[in-house]
Amino acid sequence: MTELIIKNGFVYDPLNRIDGEKMDICIRDGKIVKTVKDSAKVVDASGMVVMPGGVDIHTHIAGGEVDSGRLLRPEDHVKDVEVKTAVTRSGVGYSIPSTFTTGYRYSRMGYTTAMNPSMAPLQARHTHEELSDTPMIDKASYPLLGDWWFSLEHIRDGLIKENAAHIAWMLKATRGYAIKIVNPGGLEAWGFGRNVHSIDDVVPNFGITPREIIRGLCKVNTMLNLPHTIHLHTNNLGQPGNYVTALESMKCVEDLARKDRPVMHITHIQFCAFKGEDWGRLSSGAEDIANYMNNHSHVTLDVGQVVFSDTTTMTADGPFQFGLYHLTGNKWVNHDVETETSGGIVPFRYKRTSAVHATQWSIALEIMLLVKDPWKIMMTTDHPNGGPFFSYPQIMTWYISKAARDKLFGKIHKRARKKSLLTSIDRELSLYELAIVTRAGQAKALGLKDKGHLGVGADADIAVYNINPELAAKKFVSARRAFEQAAYTIKDGEIVVKDGEVVKQVFGRTYWVDVETSMPHEVNDDIKKKFRDYWTVEYENYPIREGFLHTPAPIAVKAGV
Amino acid sequence: MYQNKRRTIVIDVRKTRTADAADCFIQVEPGKDYELMQALRVLVNDGELDVDEVAGIPVETLEDLVDVMVSCKLGIIFFGLGLTMSKGKHRNIDVAISLTRDLNNRTKFLIMPMRGHYNVTGANIVFTWQTGYPFAVDMSNGYPRYNPGETSSTDILRRDESDAMLVIASDPVAHFPKASSKNIAKHPLISIDPEVTPTTMLADVILPPAFVGIEAEGTAYRMDHVPLPLKKLVEPPEGFLSDTEILRRILQKVRELKKKGTN
């Protein structure tokens, strides 16, 4: 029985409405408890900030596509190496770090959970092998189901219950956590080099529309009682004028909303908040998106902040990546996975001196600051698409300090500066709000009940930052350093990082959703035949076997069908 | 349902059995792959060739070939050792990739290397997620370094820089250049391999493991990066361990020795 007490810190625990109160946190056997014995090990957090461990709802850290990105970019690794220590293994960065490095770098920032949002079902095994090699954090993966043939057929034929039972089977087969939808219908079209351009375009071969796919899977999600909502990467991502598509996607599930519970998460909203007819006239759609968000509660967002750095873009959105390749002339990998999904990888450098990139940087900040309710919006970079995840500390200072924003604002492209709404926004997030957008809100949106808070019974995943709460906004440079190098990171009740150094290597769990349906998933000869005709792995060998994951943590869910 | 409409074209220096099975065979002069592909790029980009033939192939044939390529719905180029190991080497691959990119402006086209040995893709993939690089990874500095030509095993052997060698499921003695394999014999050699090979014949220690997919469970990656689960069908002969178990025990021993060394 190991006991720990974190003493005298300023605690920010928004899910329990604790706002900077000086208090002690007690830990026993990896969980937060009311009291511990006097013999408990003491962590002195006097003058420091104590928060739940960081939670990342969307970060590409593992799987076929990420690994192809690593393969594509030796020049990215050579400039940023991670030397082995007595407790850690060596590896490389920069924008697509090796798995061990990924775990250590998250942990050093006080993060304890990260969700891998893009998994081709056929490559679920590969993804889970990588996640098992990613230490320090708990994780999960979302299978790409927005262009999954069986699901599209069910939607076409109006078989919603059958669709739900099938998706439940798929989540189990891939050990997945949530329904990920990327450019619905567009990936199917990309199989033959085409795309769809609005949520009402017809998807080739199926005769349905992206709207029907989004709505169909949204209903399935509700029926299955999944902990997270559908996780949507919209159509027309990265195209000027696409804020309209984002708004239409939000509107198309308005009538499916359930009281105050969200039914849709739109990811990296910055990439779909572009106004203007072309790149030359690009401006911000942040106000329109924020207005909608401030008047509706059925959607949550993560921002996909752009950071000025050299990075690697990678999405399952094959046609978008192809466009990006044409735009940049950079090297490009197309990564189709049989009938299931597409994908693309293009190295990319966001420059302050580019009007477009600077506008993207501004849009992301505007949305974060204009959406009034922090529970509706989360900090991400869509790692590595907007920038590497270890830019988070810098982004946090932009949120909490106008001075930090202004400092960079003065250096960006003149046209972007002129169009930016940032000059009219004085809002600075409090540390309480920062804890929401970086952990509490993310855990809530994910339905991870034991994460993102410090109440009794929660997982003892905790970050301690050496920050004086009153001076954080003013002394943003030292705040940034403190966020980069947590004074302590505690994972499942053990000190794993001290003063920014990994002192113990642990391996987190891999969550997946084990849905129990009363209606059995029908395995008919037709399904088996389709697997035989159109897949290269047979139905019987498709699901991941028991025992394949190193540390599986199934979450049992009882479905409404 | 699509099979009848599919077409296979083989380009090679000689007529192989694969060529016999294909719809069309085009014979290229040895060492002229680079020229051939550059010529194809010109044609794909609507250019004209001022010569009668390229790499021993009439320009009309190339024009027909390009017509087939740009008018298909989805095409794929497979390439093998003939391209990677002949004159031009990585530049041949470079131009093959460029050709694929050009084709994508006209239709959808993919490119994929044909891998030789069983699960060589798996080795590349695991190396890549753990170190960032697919092969030739040098860890002696305490972090991964990758510089093929310097850190690749064949070059380390050729320069005779190593003084011991552990070979797992591979047969370098048979496949490496003579200058490299000559030096393998000079130093202690340990081989983990279930088969008798020229490498095991030279080895000082042989550890025969159980066969994965027959006597042990495992995962192998197909050349298109799809991992396949492999089942265990029968018990291995007594005393035979899986590769994983052999390596685990070696690692354990190494750690014990290191601990002793530091005390």
The CA R_g of chain A, rounded to the nearest whole Å, is 22
Considering only CB atoms, B128 lies closest to which of A71, A332, A548, namely: A71
First-to-last alpha carbon distance for chain A, in angstroms, is 42
Q: What is the pLDDT of residue A343?
A: 86
On whether the CB atoms of residues B157 and B176 are closer than 8 A, the answer is yes
For an interface test with B, the pick among A60, A96, A129 (most B C-beta atoms closer than 10 Å) comes out as A129
Which residues are CB-contacts of B257 (< 8 A; sequence separation ≥ 6)? none
Does A275 lie at the interface with B, CB-CB under 8 angstroms?
Answer: no
Measure the CA angle with vertex B125, ends B120 and B128; round to 5°.
125
Q: Which residues of B touch A533 (CB under 8 A)?
A: 1
d(CA B214, CA A383): 40
CA distances from A172 to A203, A325, A528, B59 (A): 27, 35, 17, 55
Measure the CA angle with vertex B65, ends B62 and B69; round to 5°.
135
d(CA A60, CA A47): 35
> Residue by residue, what is the 3-state secondary structure of chain B?
CCHHHCCCEEEECCCCHHHHHCCEEEECCCCCHHHHHHHHHHHHCCCCCCCCEECCEEHHHHHHHHHHHHHCCEEEEEECHHHHCCCCCHHHHHHHHHHHHHHCCCCEEEEEECCCCCCHHHHHHHHHHHHCCCCCEECCCCCCEECCCCCCHHHHHHCCCCCCEEEECCCHHHHCCHHHHHHHCCCCEEEECCCCCHHHHHCCEEECCCCECCCECEEEECCCCCEEEECCCCCCCCCCCCHHHHHHHHHHHHHHHHHHHHC
Q: Which residues of A touch B221 (CB under 8 A)?
A: 126
On whether the CB atoms of residues A422 and A366 are closer than 8 A, the answer is yes
Instruction: For residue A403, give the DSSP letter.
Output: H
Does A541 lie at the interface with B, CB-CB under 8 angstroms?
Answer: yes
CB-based contact A74 B132, cutoff 8 Å: yes
Does A310 lie at the interface with B, CB-CB under 8 angstroms?
Answer: no
Q: What is the pLDDT of residue A1?
A: 63
Per-residue pLDDT of chain B (263 residues; tens, 9 = 90+): 345 678 999 999 999 999 999 999 999 999 999 999 999 999 999 999 999 999 999 999 999 999 999 999 889 999 988 888 788 878 999 999 999 999 999 999 999 999 877 899 999 999 999 999 999 999 999 999 999 889 999 999 999 999 999 999 999 999 888 999 999 999 999 999 999 999 999 999 999 999 999 999 999 999 999 999 899 999 999 999 999 999 999 999 999 999 888 76
On whether the CB atoms of residues A261 and A270 are closer than 8 A, the answer is no
Q: Which residues of B touch A133 (CB under 8 A)?
A: 129-130
Which ipTM value was assigned to this complex? Answer: 0.94
Q: What is the pLDDT of residue A525?
A: 84
Residue A214: both structure tokens together: 């989004």
Q: What is the pLDDT of residue B2?
A: 45
Does A531 lie at the interface with B, CB-CB under 8 angstroms?
Answer: no
What is the distance, to the nearest Å, from the Cα of residue B68 to the centroid of all Cα atoms in its chain? 28
Q: Which residues of A touch B144 (CB under 8 A)?
A: 77, 81, 90-92, 98
Instruction: For residue A80, give the DSSP letter.
Output: S
Considering the segment(s) A52-502 as one domain, its CATH architecture is Alpha-Beta Barrel (3.20)
Residue A443: both structure tokens together: 């855990």
CB-based contact B74 A133, cutoff 8 Å: no
d(CA A455, CA A472): 25
On whether the CB atoms of residues A405 and A418 are closer than 8 A, the answer is no
Q: Which residues of A touch B104 (CB under 8 A)?
A: 193, 322, 334
Residue of A425, A466, A388, A460 whose CA lies nearest to A284 = A425
CB-based contact B143 A126, cutoff 8 Å: no
d(CA A442, CA A227): 12
Q: Sketch the domain layout of chain A as residue ranges.
A: 52-502
Q: Which residues of B touch A193 (CB under 8 A)?
A: 73-74, 104, 107-108
> In the A/B pair of chains, how many CB contacts fall below 8 A?
103
Which residues are CB-contacts of A541 (< 8 A; sequence separation ≥ 6)? B228, B229
d(CA B60, CA B154): 42
Strand partners, B145: B138
Cis peptide leading into residue A511 (ω within 30°): no
Residue of A258, A140, A194, A317 whose CA lies nearest to A560 = A258
| Dihedral pair phi/psi, residue A461, rounded to 5° | -105, 110
d(CA A92, CA A483): 21
Place of tokens 């190593």: B162
Closest-approach residue (CA) in chain A for B122? A126
CA distances from A337 to A120, A158, A407 (A): 7, 27, 44
Does A317 lie at the interface with B, CB-CB under 8 angstroms?
Answer: no
Closest-approach residue (CA) in chain B for A101? B130
> Residue by residue, what is the 3-state secondary structure of A153-178?
HHHHCCCHHHHHHHHHHHHHHCCCCC
Dihedral sign computed on CA atoms, order A63, A70, B218, B241: negative
Instruction: Indicate the pairing of strand B218-221 with strand B227-230.
Output: antiparallel
Instruction: For residue A63, give the DSSP letter.
Output: S
Instruction: Indicate the pairing of strand B74-79 with strand B108-113.
Output: parallel
Distance between A519 CA and the closest CA of chain B, angstroms: 29
Instruction: Indicate the pairing of strand B145-146 with strand B137-138.
Output: antiparallel
Q: Which amino acid is at B210?
A: A
CB-based contact A84 B133, cutoff 8 Å: no
Instruction: Indicate the pairing of strand A377-378 with strand A3-13.
Output: unpaired
Sheet architecture: strand order including B165-168: B165-168, B189-192, B205-207
| Dihedral pair phi/psi, residue A535, rounded to 5° | -110, 165
On whether the CB atoms of residues A115 and A58 are closer than 8 A, the answer is yes
d(CA A182, CA A119): 11
pTM: 0.94
Considering only CB atoms, B134 lies closest to which of A71, A126, A133, namely: A71
Domains identified in chain B and CATH numbers: 3-113 (3.40.228.10), 120-262 (3.40.50.740)
On whether the CB atoms of residues A188 and A151 are closer than 8 A, the answer is no
Does A39 lie at the interface with B, CB-CB under 8 angstroms?
Answer: no
d(CA A189, CA A207): 11
Residue of A253, A242, A358 whose CA lies nearest to A289 = A242
For chain A, which ranges sit under pLDDT 50? none
pLDDT tens by residue, A376-411: 999 999 999 999 999 999 999 999 999 999 999 999
Measure the CA angle with vertex B190, ends B188 and B192; round to 5°.
170
Distance between A331 CA and the closest CA of chain B, angstroms: 10
Does A98 lie at the interface with B, CB-CB under 8 angstroms?
Answer: yes
